Amino acid sequence: MWCERGQEVMMRKKSAVHLDSRYATMIENAYFYSNPPETRAVTRVKRPPMHEYIRRLLYKDLSKTTIERVLRQIRKLDWDNTEVSIHCQHVSYEQT
């Protein structure tokens, strides 16, 4: 309770008194660190496990040193399965 009043007093003083930009930024950072603004929760998209695996291979595992291993894993996928082939086509269109 007394902390909130102190923060309000500091914010009013900051706006009333001309402070160096460094000090104004420090006051704002301290205020918003202790009283973060209300934010909405981020909704996570629920994907099938195969989609998650393909995305992990392409976006996290793929690098210059792991190309062969990732390609080997992608070749092992069941390409006759429509879920796999459609998702891989969708991922490739996202990149362009």
Task: Report pLDDT digits (tens) over 41-64.
Answer: 888 888 888 888 888 998 999 999
Decide: 84 and 54 in contact? Cβ < 8 Å. yes
Domain count within the chain: 2
Global confidence as pTM: 0.52
Whether 53 and 82 share a structural domain: yes
Residue 90 forms part of a structural domain: yes
- Please provide the average confidence, as pLDDT, over all residues in the chain: 81
Query: In 3D, which of 13, 11, 1 has the Cα closest to residue 31?
Result: 11
Residue 36 pLDDT: 76
In the block, residue with structure tokens 């195969």 = 50
CA-derived radius of gyration, the chain: 25
Residue 39 forms part of a structural domain: no
Residue 43 forms part of a structural domain: no
Residue 26 lies in domain: 2-34
Question: Which range has the worst mean pLDDT, 6-10, 49-53, 57-61, 74-78?
Answer: 6-10
CA 9 and chain centroid, separation: 34
In angstroms, the CA 27 to CA 81 distance is 57
